[in-house]
Amino acid sequence: MPPVDEILEGKDICICAGSGGVGKTTTSAAIAAGMAARGLRVCVLTIDPAKRLADSLGLRELGNEATQVDPELFEQHGVEMKGELWAMMLDAKATFDELVARQAPDEESRDRVLNNRIYQQISNALAGSQEYMAMEKLFELHTEGRFDLLVLDTPPTRNALDFLEAPRRLTQFIEGRSLRVFMKPTGLAAKVAGRGASVALSVFKRIVGFDLLADLAEFFNAFSGMVDGFQARAKRVNSLLADPHTCFLVVCGPQGEPINEAVYFHRKLVEAKMPFGGVIVNKVHYPAERLRGDSADLEGTLTAKLGDDDLAQRVTENFADYQALAERDARNIEHLAKELRTTGVIRVPYLDEDVHDLGGLAEINRYLFATSEERVELAAGRGAA
């Protein structure tokens, strides 16, 4: 597979997607840093509440505004920064509030929504709202056109696909046909308070209580003036995602489960007609360099060299364990490549050191921005594991 800079040639947006715990945040940061070092003005967006990206980039605080990463930090790690790297940690609630303010016809309707308890819950905690707001911010930044490339680290959802459906789900939520009925003066609010309520409504009221239902009714009423605006915007967000200038990179780990999820995710992307760019497998155990000589009597050889049969035995066992992991990884990646009908996969090795700073990102980029052949050589050069 070609290096990342070739894959992202001419792209405005790069979306890193994958299940949790596979190093998506680190990969997003590394890609953004690498592209910036090559001369682009890049902004990386994350909505991870764990503030991992801030750690990776040596930023104390990330707000809902883009902040530039000090280029000197890169130079300290021997990376020449030709462009600019910006980072933003998305505050879903603030983004939602901004969106409501923009869509509201007047201040009064804005405040009615912002002060509604149902809205406050949705904008804060509802699964899916973070995803939607990530898309929203991406759209906003893209429209502003301040950056050459936007890199999005998708949220750690239970299902890596949640964010693809988020715009649709949210608009469905506020636009449903049943909702139109509620929003009439004789709609839900009236029904909740009045006597002519349907069985369904009265049962629902019995279960959740009058209060909550009244809040819901108020929420829908308050939102009624904004439905069209939200709808139109969600459509534009969706077409931005499917645009040929957008590129989805699937990030995964080499174990069976993450590989299966990556296969599934790729299939969904294709079904949704989203532009797929490639797959990055992190923490791969590369097999040992091509072995010369006889590996059969490794223990004997080592005993002779080390003069310590106990140590030789432990080294041999350890080597066998790692080779087994390398074989597993190779098998899984072969399966992945076959399923994705792609010839190559970017494999980033399991590095000796944990990656959590710019030095680590630079180390990862040696692989991400290398050709397949260079990658194999790099891995061979750094050792067997």
Partner 1 sequence: MRPRSLVVPIALRNGVLHSLQLLDNRMRLFNGRGGLGLGLTAKESHCAGIRRGARFSCRASKLLGITPIPDILDKRLVFVTGKGGVGKTTVAVALGLRAAEAGKRTIVCEVSSQENTSRIFDHTEVGFHEVKMAENLWSISIDPDESMREYVLLQLKVRAMRDLLFRSRIFSYLAAATPGLKELVTIGKIWELAQLDRKVKSGRKYDLVIVDAPATGHGIGFLQTPRTFAAIARVGPIHSQAQQLDRLITDQAHTGTAIVALPEEMPVNETAALESELRSEVGVAVDRIYLNGLYPERFSKEEAQRLGELAEGENGVARAAARAAASEYGRARSQRAQLARLRRRVEAPVKTLPFLFEPELGVKAAGQLARKLS
Pairing of strands 13-17, 84-89: unpaired
Per CB under 8 A, 193 contacts partner 1:
no
Contact residue for partner 1 among 3, 34, 83, 156 (CB under 8 A) = 156
> Which residue in this structure is represented by tokens 């309520």?
197
Q: How far apart are CA 117 and CA 123, in angstroms?
A: 10
Q: Which stretch binds partner 1 (CB under 8 A): 29-37, 230-238, 334-342, 347-355?
A: 347-355
For partner 1, which is the closer residue by CB, 147 or 220? 220
Q: Angle between the 199-208 and 210-223 helix axes, to the nearest 10 degrees?
A: 110
For partner 1, which is the closer residue by CB, 196 or 200? 200
Q: Note whether 173 and 37 are within 8 A (CB).
A: no
Contact residue for partner 1 among 5, 55, 148, 243 (CB under 8 A) = 55
Contact residue for partner 1 among 111, 140, 268, 322 (CB under 8 A) = 322
Nearest Cα residue to 335 out of 260, 271, 248, 251: 260
Total of residues contacting partner 1 (CB under 8 A): 79
Sequence-distant (≥ 6) Cβ neighbours of residue 79 within 8 angstroms: 33, 37, 358, 362
For partner 1, which is the closer residue by CB, 34 or 253? 253
Per CB under 8 A, 385 contacts partner 1:
yes
Binding mask 196-235 for partner 1 (x = CB under 8 A): --xxxx-xx-xxxxxxxx-xx---x---------------
Q: Note whether 169 and 30 are within 8 A (CB).
A: no
Nearest Cα residue to 45 out of 177, 200, 151: 151
Alpha carbon 40 to its chain centroid, in Å, reads 21
Per CB under 8 A, 267 contacts partner 1:
no
Nearest distance, CB of residue 180 and partner 1, angstroms: 11
Contact residue for partner 1 among 11, 52, 233, 375 (CB under 8 A) = 52
Nearest distance, CB of residue 230 and partner 1, angstroms: 15
Per CB under 8 A, 306 contacts partner 1:
yes
SS3 at position 73: helix
Q: Which stretch binds partner 1 (CB under 8 A): 1-9, 34-42, 119-127, 267-275?
A: 119-127
